[in-house]
Every structure is written in C-alpha cells, then in structure tokens.
Structure 1
Amino acid sequence: MSEQTDTTTLPEAPQASEAPVTSAPGPKRSRRVLWAVARWTVAVAVCGGAGVGTAAGITSMERTDVPGLATEHDGRWAYPKLSLPALPQGSPRPFSRGNDGEIHHADLRALLLPAPAGATVDPKLNGGWVSLDRFLSLYRQDDRPALKEALADSALRHVAARGWTTPDGTTTRIHLLRFNSVAFAEAFKDDGLKAGSVDGALLNGVDGVDMESSLAGAVDVPYTALYAFVEKPAGAEQSRWAYIQAGDTVAVVTQSRKGEALLVPFQQTVTLQNQLLG
C-alpha cells in the first residue's frame, strides 16, 4: 500500500504562556459538517499561572501556522515543528467524513509526540512498539491485574511509546494504545481506567490523587476526550498524568519530577499530543 508524500503541518510548539487542560466532549456525529470546514483549526486556551496572578488570554491559530508568540523563560519546552504523518493512499483522517469508525490509519508510532530540545530519550521507550507489560509497569502492582484483564476484553491491537527526561529532572512517558474500534477504546477509558474519576488505577508511588478540575478553559481539539490528574503532595516526587481518547486510540501521558511536577510543561505536552491525535 503506497503512502502520500505530502504532510499536514501542525503549529510549532508554542513558546507562550500555558494552556489549561480539562475534559473535552467526546465524539458527536452532528458536528461533522462543521468539522469538514474547520477541522485543521485548533484553539489553544491560555490560562494564567500559579500564585502570582499571571495574566490570562486566548489565542487561536490554524494548524498550518507557525505562531510568533515566543516568551522566554516561561517554563515551556522547545519542541520541534510538528506535522501529521502521511496516510496510506485513499485513507481518511480519523474524524473526516466517511470514517465513521474514527480509525487512525497512520502508523501509530508516527503519532507520538517527539522529545523536546535538550531531552535525553529513554532507549527502552524510543518511539517504537512496546509490550503490554511495559505499559502496565506505569501502575501500582495491585492495579495491574485489573488493567490487564480490561485490556484483554478491549481488543487492544498494539502499544507505541516514547519517553524522555529533561535537564530539570522531569521524566515524561507517552503511551498510545490502539484498539480495534472506537467502542473498545471508549470502554477501556471508562471501565478500565475510570478516567472520569479519582477511583481508577494509580501510578507507581502514588497514594492520593486529585483531578485537574480547577483549571479554567479547555484544550479544544474536536472529538477527543481529555482527563488530567495530579498526585497529592506526599513524598519527594510528584506525578501528573492525563488520558486522551481520540477515536480508536487512547493516550496515557505521565510526568514525574522530584519536588513538584510543573504544570506548564505538562499542559504543553498534553496539548500537543492531543493535537496530533485529533
């Protein structure tokens, strides 16, 4: 099967103030006409930061634009310019007209967010396929059996992953799980991960969690669902993580850091990964 040689360009990773992360609505067929007209438009909500009363604003941009909003020392990472991968000849994007199954026809590995400048890539999570056990190792030992059973019931096809550590000590892990259909992906998100509550599986070393419900605004990527969590302060390290469901694919984005897991790079990373899937 041949591939198209052209690619669709995403915005270069913004260097401006942070974008809040909250839940976005799931797939709605009634909006497909609007999506056909405006599917390459991504609205990035920008919300002020913690404790010192940072100003807030909203910026919209076309996915093919490169925004000129660079602000030094705001905590954002320098990601490379992003583009959507080429598709097999005749295959639609996941939320295009005619793709009622919301299937990602692109190579799943090509939909992983690349590491930012200056990061050290984990050789075991270098953007390739990983085993189910490797993915499950993110979670506490007691939570793994139930997750494994849920994945066995959810027609999981394969898992791709990338991980890196930045100079400030933040460790990022992104896993993309592709299922046989959007129904299986949604079932795993709701019943396996329990993404809409704090009652789901916890990451290794995490004892308590809050949802990021206090964040204002939304990551406006149509037809995707996003849920973000933060570990309650308890030990020497803190974790943040997010679940993204986009059609037949579920993304799990985690960040951990000694002391505090910083909000700005977490939101930036989740936003960009969401855009790649949407």
Structure 2
Amino acid sequence: MTEQTGPTVQTGPTVQTEPTAQTEPQAVAEPPLQDPPPAKKDRRILRAVLRWTAAVVVFAAVGAGTAYGITGMDRTDVPGLATRSDGRWDYPTLVKPPLPSGSPAPFDERNLAGTHYADLRALVLPVPRGAVEEKKLRGRDGWLATKDFLAEYAEKDARDELRQTFVDNGLRHVAARGWTTPDGTRTRVYLLQFGTAAVVDELFQKDIAPVSGPSDQLRGAGTSLFDDDFPTQAHDYNIPYSVYVESKPYGAEQVRQGYLSAGDVLAVIVQSRKGTAKAVPFRQTVALQSELLG
C-alpha cells in the first residue's frame, strides 16, 4: 500500500485508477474546480424550453394525424375540396353477362360472324342512379316489339320501309331500355340483333347511319349533322359509330342520336332534352354502351 503524505481531502466520489508497477507514492490530485450552482433564472428557462418542446411534439402528432385523416378521405368528403360534377351520370358498375361455355366473345378472331352469344337483354346499359325508368321499353319478357322501336321515326313511310328492311335482313330481337333524369333528359337505348356482323355493317352504312346524316328523321328532330366534336376515344375501337346532333332544336327539345355497329348488333341511342341536350351525358352513354357490346 502507498502512504498518504498529508491529510485526506474529500472532494466527491473517489475515481479509481488501474494499479501501476511504480513503488513511489502517488501524488494526491488537487480538488477539481466546481461550477457555481445554476441560478433560478436558468431553471425557469430550461422549464420553458421543455414545455415548448413538448408542445411542438404534440402539435406535430396532431398534424400528422390530421394529414393522415385527410389523405384517407375522398375528395368530396373534405370541406372546400369537393370536385364539381362535370355532368356525367352515376351509372351502376357495368358487369358483362357470362358467355355460354365454349362460346367466343363477339370480336374474337374465331367468331367470324361477330355473334353476341350472351343474353342481349343483359347487354343493354343499366339505368343511372336517380333516373326514372321508362317501363314500357322493357317490352314483353325483355324483348321489345319492332313496331315500338319504329315509333321513334317521324314519317309513316320511313317506318314502313324500315320494317320491311328489317324483315329482309333477318332481325332476330330488339332489347331496349329508357329513362328520364332529374334535369329532364330522356334517353332511349335500343339493341337490334341480326344474323351476322356483315348484315349489320351494311345496314349501318347504307340504311341507318351514313356519315352524311341519318337516313330518316326521328320524332322531334330537325336537321341533324355529324357531331365532329365527339371524342373518338369515347367508344370501343372495334365498333364503328355515327353520332349526330341537331344544329339547332327543331322544336322545344334538342335531339342527339348515336349508332353503333357492334358485330351482329346495331345499337341506337337517342337523347332529347328541352332547350339543349347536353353533350357530356350523351357521350358517356355512347361510350358505356360501346363498352358493354365490345
């Protein structure tokens, strides 16, 4: 053991050191200088800093939670961020009916006749939400009589001629649906099924919907011109289309009409509304009906 050379001075906890091989006595370390006790003002500053730090943490947590809540909501659920409607209607989710086992889709390369093997009645566009359905267009068991479709045409001679054309070309079925939306727009959708796509294509180009204009005038429609503003992407690319709009309303209503050559099905879509028939719901209706038939 080493000997102390003077009285022991207690300065706080003893710092232990590793023993050395020296045999001489070790000098006693001088007491370290101690900082003066902190002033009360410093303690108050420290407490204030801690309080502000805690507040920042709380606000950050609340802000993060709010941000998460907003991002998890639909835009229309956030006050001030609701998206204004662009005029489209709220259709139910479209579901294509199942094909019979082993039957190809209408535009499958194996389906040379372009036949729709699914139930034609299930291929008619559904009624949008909020609209009132026109029950009489459902027909009997979902099949509409040919004369009820021909009633869309204004002139008796045109109706008689079309009736004979349909007989000569083997019209098989007519499925239809109609409705009126709260803004007064009346819509009629007709699907006419023939034997082959070739028959429909000829009817479409020559007898029903040439680009120059409709072959026969619909009820309430005046001079109708091809709608050059109709977006080409608003229909299935497999399906030729012709769409027309009155240059100005013939009577109290303006009429829009569209025709689709979809394999063995000729689709006829008519919308009319007092004043002006809006373009957006008409284009939407044509696009969705095209999607169902594609």
Same fold by TM-score greater than 0.5: yes
Query: Higher strand proportion, which one?
Result: 1
Q: What is the letter of the counterpart of residue 208 of structure 1?
A: T
Matching residue of 1:111:
123
Q: Identify if the C-alpha distance between structure 1 residues 156 and 80 changes in structure 2 by more than 3 Å, giving closer, same or farther.
A: same
Which of 90, 106, 110 does residue 98 from structure 1 map onto?
110
Matched residue type, 2:259:
Y
Could you tell me how far apart the structure 2 residues matched to 1:143 and 1:213 are?
Answer: 26
What do the CA deviations read for 1:74-116 (whole angstroms, capped 9, x no partner)? 1110000011111111111101131111110000000000000
Question: Cα distance, 1:188 vs. partner?
Answer: 1.4
Question: How many angstroms apart in 2 are the aligned matches of 1:257 and 1:220?
Answer: 23
Cα distance, 1:195 vs. partner? Answer: 3.0
Aligned to 1:222: 237
Counterpart amino acid of residue 181 in structure 1: T
Does the aligned pair in 2 maintain the 1:154–1:187 contact within 8 Å?
no
1:133 aligns with 2:147: yes
Summarize the Cα distance change of 1:251–1:73 in structure 2 as closer, same or farther, 3 Å threshold. same
| Number of the residue aligned with 1:87 | 99
Aligned to 1:252: 268
The residue that corresponds to 2:224 in the other structure is 209
Given that 1:151 and 1:188 are in contact with CA atoms closer than 8 Å, whether structure 2 keeps it comes out as no
What letter matches 2:176 in structure 1? Answer: A
State the one-letter code of the partner of 1:231.
Answer: E
- Mapped to 2, the partners of 1:69 and 1:187 lie a distance apart of 47
Change (3 A) 1:69 1:81: farther
1:88/1:189 CA distance change after superposition, 3 Å: same
- Cα separation, 2, equivalents of 1:69 and 1:93: 38
1:215 and 1:241 mapped to 2: Cα distance? 12
3-state DSSP class of the match of 2:135? Answer: strand
Counterpart code for 2:262: A
Question: Aligned equivalents of 1:114 and 1:199: distance in 2?
Answer: 26
Aligned residue pairs: how many? 211
Structure with max Cα Rg: 2
Which residues of structure 2 form unaligned runs of 5+? 1-73, 77-82
Partner of 1:168: 183
Tell me how far apart the structure 2 counterparts of residues 150 and 235 of structure 1 sit (CA, whole Å): 29
In 2, Cα distance between equivalents of 1:99 and 1:168? 42
Report how far residue 175 of structure 1 moved: 0.3
Kept after mapping to 2: 8 A contact 1:195/1:243: no
Say if 1:186 and 1:245, in contact at 8 Å, map to a contact too. yes
- Compare relative contact order (CA 8 Å, sep 6+) and give the higher one, 1 or 2: 1
Native 8 Å contact 1:242 1:252 kept in 2: yes
Q: Which of 239, 264, 268 pairs up with 2:280?
A: 264
- Displacement of 1:72: 3.4
Query: 1:218 deviation in Å?
Result: 3.0
> 1:219: how far off?
2.6
CA distance in 1, matches of 2:284, 2:231: 15
CA positional deviation for 1:220: 4.8
| Alignment pair present for 1:146 and 2:161 | yes
C-alpha RMSD of matched pairs (Å):
1.8
| Among 193, 215, 239, the residue aligned to 1:178 | 193
Q: Show structure 1 runs of 5+ residues with no match.
A: 1-67
Provide the C-alpha distance between the structure 2 equivalents of 1:151 and 1:165, rounded to a whole number of angstroms: 28
Question: Conserved in 1, the CA contact under 8 Å of 2:234 and 2:283?
Answer: no
Report SS of the residue matched to 1:173: strand
Structure-2 separation of matches of 1:169 and 1:129: 26
Q: Normalising by the residue count of structure 2, what TM-score does the alignment of the two structures yield?
A: 0.68
TM-score scaled by structure 1? Answer: 0.72
- In 2, distance between residues paired with 1:198 and 1:220? 19
